[in-house]
A and B are shown apart, each in its own frame.
Chain A
């Protein structure tokens, strides 16, 4: 199973191995990574699972759909080129080793 490293805004690191097909949001919430709210439970409804993706993995991610881009605009923390919604990124073998940073607020 691919290993994901989450880095909380306070610097705390969590290494989590996630089953294929799980989302970055699910991995964070289920494993008690602080700073991901995910109040809608992964329906791309709330923009509270905003994460920053390690630059070198950016191109390996599925492309952002219009809906995700629209929701991201409403996120609370600064939107960067490597911003994604964690609920829309599913784990695949090529994401093994990815680093995901959690913003200061959701």
Chain B
């Protein structure tokens, strides 16, 4: 029987599945289903270049419209899948249409966690995920003088940076003791905090919200007036379709090293996939371009019977003002770190070790360190402390 691959979701994961299938010479049917009506686009620029006004809607498209036609891909925009029937190998759309598959890819991503009060979503808070969200936020920003942002993670801080660059009075409310605490060490959090403060952003740490009204936010520490309230407080994996179909889910869709779910001809890739990550040493979900793209390639390799297990080194980035932070590896659990460049400045890298092994590197405005570190960690090579600290030493010589 010839293969027919159906993909639900047209973010980085879904698009990479399509692209890799055709690049690898797959000639069977491909159906790409997206719940949004827009031509598939990239989400990372929404909180960066797009809302800054530097990137257009056209420039963030993955492919031009004729790509799908030229590559014989059935692109179905604005359609929701309401059910996966694993016994019949079929998905059912919201209009009742039945689409059969031999291989199904869940690239459904994640949804924003919302603030609730007594189980009810609190109104007048805006969240960023889709292009539509970004268009609404762009318009709201224009008509607002003061902006309160709930959550001092990547999204919240990228929004804070671009809002303050637009001349808004910005306040960031974070319940933890420092910015981006979950993923970054204090030495880097501090640089970001200082930079935001230099741009006039008020950062409230250890801050706990008591009430949100149309006028602003009441915290235990005081009242923050805001014309616009934005929130970036994490995500919930979009796994309900899988759960309802009886596929094993736990913090997302559980997959093996080939991205297969508990149903062997159904795969999950990207933000929604709970996988064992060798660099984390445990089961995790990763919300990143790298993870979506590399897992898509793994799923395709398995469908095409040239299986390659998932073993890609994780990397991430964030842009705020002139600060470009690139992260590689998972630094959680490090027992030692070494700094290359001037610690606390706006240009240095932090090398994290665990049991003498290099496990992660965060590079602030040091792009070459980042690319080198990706190679080092992939190859399992650990430079010495002296080599890292010596700026005249070229770390590419370790490879």
Contacts and interface: CB of A to CB of B under 8 A. Distances in A.
Contacts of B365: 67
B146 interface: no
A22 interface: yes
Contacts of A42: 45, 55, 59
Of the candidates A19, A47, A70, the one having the most CB atoms from chain B within 10 angstroms of its own CB is A70
A71 to B, nearest CB: 5
Contacts of A34: 23
A45 B372 CA distance: 12
Given A22-B59, A41-B289, A45-B326, A30 B67 contact: yes
Interface in A29-45: 29-32, 34, 39-45
A13 interface: no
A23 interface: yes
Contacts of B340: none
Interface residues of A, number: 24
Given A22-B59, A29-B63, A70 B48 contact: no
Given A40-B317, A43-B44, A31 B67 contact: yes
A74 B317 contact: no
A32 B368 contact: no
Interface residues of B, number: 34
Interface string A1-45: 000000000000000000101110010011110100001111111
Given A43-B44, A70-B367, A32 B59 contact: no
A47 B67 CA distance: 23
A84 B227 CA distance: 44
Given A22-B59, A30-B64, A67 B367 contact: yes
Contact of A41 (B45, B64, B396): B45
B59 A39 contact: no
Contacts of A74: 367-368, 370-372, 375
Contacts of B56: 21
B178 to A, nearest CB: 24
A73 interface: yes
A54 B372 CA distance: 28
B258 to A, nearest CB: 21
B367 A32 contact: no
A73 B371 contact: yes
B23 A41 contact: no
A67 B293 contact: no
A30 B306 CA distance: 27
Interface string A65-95: 0010011011000000000000000000000
B366 interface: yes
Contact of B371 (A21, A30, A47): A47
21 contacts: A21-B56, A22-B58, A30-B61, A30-B62, A30-B63, A30-B64, A30-B67, A31-B64, A39-B293, A41-B45, A41-B289, A42-B45, A42-B59, A43-B48, A44-B367, A45-B367, A47-B371, A67-B367, A70-B366, A73-B371, A74-B367
Interface of B: 23, 42, 44-45, 48-49, 55-56, 58-64, 67, 70-71, 289-290, 293, 317, 319, 324, 326, 365-368, 370-372, 375, 396
Given A22-B59, A39-B289, A70-B366, 6 more contacts: A29-B62, A30-B61, A31-B64, A40-B289, A41-B42, A42-B55
